[in-house]
Amino acid sequence: MFLFALLSGLTLGGVYALVAMGLTIQYSVSRTMNLGYGEFLIAAAFSVFVMFGAFGISPYILAILVVPVAFGVSWLIYRVMLMPIVRRARSPLALEIDSLLLTFGLLFAIMGVLLLIFGSNYTNYYYLSVPVRILDATVALNRLVSFGAAVIVGAIGYWLLMRTRTGMVLRAVSVDPVGARLVGIDVNWAAGLAYGLGGAIAALGGVLISTYMTFTAEMGVVFTMKALIVVIMAGVGHVLGALIAGMALGLIEAFVSAYLDPGLTIAVIYAVFLLALIIRPQGIFGRVAR
Partner 1 sequence: MISRSPLPYIGILAIAGMVALLPFIVSSFQLAFAIGLLNFAVLATAWGLFSGPTRYISLASVVFFGIGSYTVAVVGEVMPWPAVLALAALIGGGVALVVGLATLRLAGIYFVIFTFGLSEMVRQLVTWYEVNVTLSVGRYVFLDISQTQIFWQLLALLTVVMIGAVALQRSRLGFALRVIGGDETMARHFGLNPTFAKLALFVGSSMIMALAGAIMAPRWTYIDPAIAFNITLSFQVVIMGLLGGMHRIYGPLLGAILMTFLFEALSDRFPQAFSLLLGVVFILIVYLLPNGIVGRVEELIARTRRKPDNTSAGLIGERS
Question: Does residue 213 bind partner 1 (CB under 8 A)?
Answer: no
Which parts of 13-72 interact with partner 1 (CB under 8 A)? 33, 35
Residue 204 · residue 151 · CB < 8 Å: no
DSSP letters spanning 109-145: HHHHHHHHHHTT--B---SS--EEEETTEEEEHHHHH
| Least distance from partner 1 to the Cβ atom of residue 36, Å | 9
Q: How many CA atoms lie within 13 A of 54 on its CB side?
A: 7
Question: Does residue 290 bind partner 1 (CB under 8 A)?
Answer: yes
CB neighbourhood size of 267 (10 A): 11
DSSP letters spanning 217-237: TT-HHHHHHHHHHHHHHH-TT
Nearer to partner 1, 6 or 98 (CB): 98
| Least distance from partner 1 to the Cβ atom of residue 65, Å | 25
Nearer to partner 1, 101 or 168 (CB): 101
Q: Comparing C-alpha atoms, which of 22, 3, 59 is closest to residue 234?
A: 22
CB neighbourhood size of 205 (10 A): 31
Q: How many CA atoms lie within 13 A of 26 on its CB side?
A: 33
User: How far apart are alpha carbons 112 and 117 in whole angstroms?
Assistant: 9
Cβ within 8 Å of residue 287, ≥6 positions away: 235
Question: Does residue 184 bind partner 1 (CB under 8 A)?
Answer: no
Residue 4 · residue 15 · CB < 8 Å: no
Which parts of 62-101 interact with partner 1 (CB under 8 A)? 81, 84-85, 88, 93, 96-98, 100-101
| Least distance from partner 1 to the Cβ atom of residue 99, Å | 9
Question: Does residue 224 bind partner 1 (CB under 8 A)?
Answer: yes
Interface pick for partner 1 out of 15, 111, 139, 243 (rule CB under 8 A): 111
Question: Does residue 162 bind partner 1 (CB under 8 A)?
Answer: no
Nearer to partner 1, 18 or 110 (CB): 110
Per CB under 8 A, which region of 113-121, 129-137, 153-161, 251-259 contacts partner 1?
A: 113-121
Question: Does residue 178 bind partner 1 (CB under 8 A)?
Answer: no
| Least distance from partner 1 to the Cβ atom of residue 176, Å | 18
Query: Contact residues for partner 1 (CB under 8 A)?
Result: 33, 35, 81, 84-85, 88, 93, 96-98, 100-102, 104-113, 115-116, 221-222, 224-225, 228-229, 232, 261, 263-267, 270, 273-274, 277-278, 281, 289-290
